[in-house]
């Protein structure tokens, strides 16, 4: 049986980079467990703290094969800085380098092709204020129109402009994207966006009148969320539990 051979980088990179690798590998495993993956496609990236370099999955591995050590380190020009037999997904480079180039607050960027995010992104009007989950995305949501496979360098500028300072993006005919100051924040933002889209699809299929949440409630949701999270972010509160879950699924991710 084919097996992956990866030399452990633990103790060979800084403690900060190793922790970023562990968090990012855990995120890949959790996405696989949630069945949000797309075979070897789609991508999640995380910056190496204190640098302009970022980590991303090796192109050709499924998400449940990603480990802290086989993540690839690249620079914003797409140069591979890791000793690896693998390459990176060209479309992943275009999207993630574009965001890391301008959003210095984004330690992690998640871009996935889930059925729910593609579907809601691709209907006129996009995400609706139809559930509590949509409340966390709508105040900071942007859209970027489909331009084909994301391998055109010229698309980067338009993606950056469309994203602006938002933390959630829906890409019509394509998927969803979230970013955050930590891997945990980006993961929880995608969780909320995914759930909002799933609920919207269910309500659309019900073909009944939907009770919409008033704009005044949407405007005040961040203040309410701050009370719930006791001054911390959703990622800070939930991520330790998610790490424990990833470890229970398979502790091999942190090798």
- In order of their start, the domains of the chain are 15-246 (3.40.225.10)
Q: What is the pLDDT at residue 186?
A: 94
Higher pLDDT, 23 or 87: 23
Is 60 exceeded by the pLDDT of residue 3? no
Report in angstroms the alpha-carbon separations of 241 from 29, 97, 146. Answer: 14, 29, 35
Q: What is the pLDDT at residue 99?
A: 92
CA atoms within 13 A on the CB side of 179: 27
Averaged over 94-116, what is the pLDDT? 92
Do 33 and 249 touch, CB atoms closer than 8 A? Answer: yes
Length reported for the chain: 255
Tell me the C-alpha distance between 242 and 255, whole Å: 17
Gap between the terminal Cα atoms of the chain? 20
Q: What percent of the chain has pLDDT over 90?
A: 58
Do 252 and 36 touch, CB atoms closer than 8 A? Answer: no
pLDDT, mean over the chain: 88
Higher pLDDT, 205 or 225: 205
CA 174 to chain centre: 14
Residue 13 burial (C-beta neighbours within 10 Å; 0-12, 13-18, 19+): middle
Express each pLDDT in 126-178 by its tens digit: 999 999 899 889 988 999 998 877 667 778 889 999 999 999 999 999 999 99
What's this model's pTM, rounded to 2 decimal places?
Answer: 0.89
């Amino acid at each position: 049986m084919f097996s992956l051979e990866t030399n452990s980088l633990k103790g060979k990179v800084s403690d900060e980079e190793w922790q970023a690798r562990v968090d990012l590998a855990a995120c890949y495993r959790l996405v696989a467990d949630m069945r949000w993956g797309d075979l070897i496609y789609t991508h999640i990236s995380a910056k190496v703290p204190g640098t302009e370099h970022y980590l991303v999955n090796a192109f050709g591995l499924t998400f449940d094969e990603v480990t802290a050590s086989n993540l690839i380190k690249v620079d914003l020009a797409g140069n591979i800085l890791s000793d690896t037999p693998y390459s990176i997904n060209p479309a992943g480079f275009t999207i993630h380098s574009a965001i890391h180039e301008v959003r210095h607050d984004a330690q992690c960027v998640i871009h996935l092709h889930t059925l729910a995010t593609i579907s809601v992104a691709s209907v006129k009007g996009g995400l609706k204020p139809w559930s509590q989950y949509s409340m966390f995305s709508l105040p900071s949501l942007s859209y970027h129109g489909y331009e084909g496979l994301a391998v055109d360098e010229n698309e980067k500028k338009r993606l950056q402009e469309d994203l602006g300072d938002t933390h959630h993006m829906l890409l019509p005919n394509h998927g969803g994207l979230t970013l955050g100051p930590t891997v945990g924040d980006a993961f929880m933002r995608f969780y909320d966006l995914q759930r909002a889209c799933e609920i919207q699809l269910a309500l659309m299929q019900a073909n009944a009148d939907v009770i919409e949440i008033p704009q005044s409630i949407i405007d005040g949701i961040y203040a309410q969320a701050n009370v719930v999270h006791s001054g911390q972010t959703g990622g800070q509160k939930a991520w330790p539990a998610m790490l424990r879950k990833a470890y229970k699924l398979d502790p091999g991710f942190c090798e």
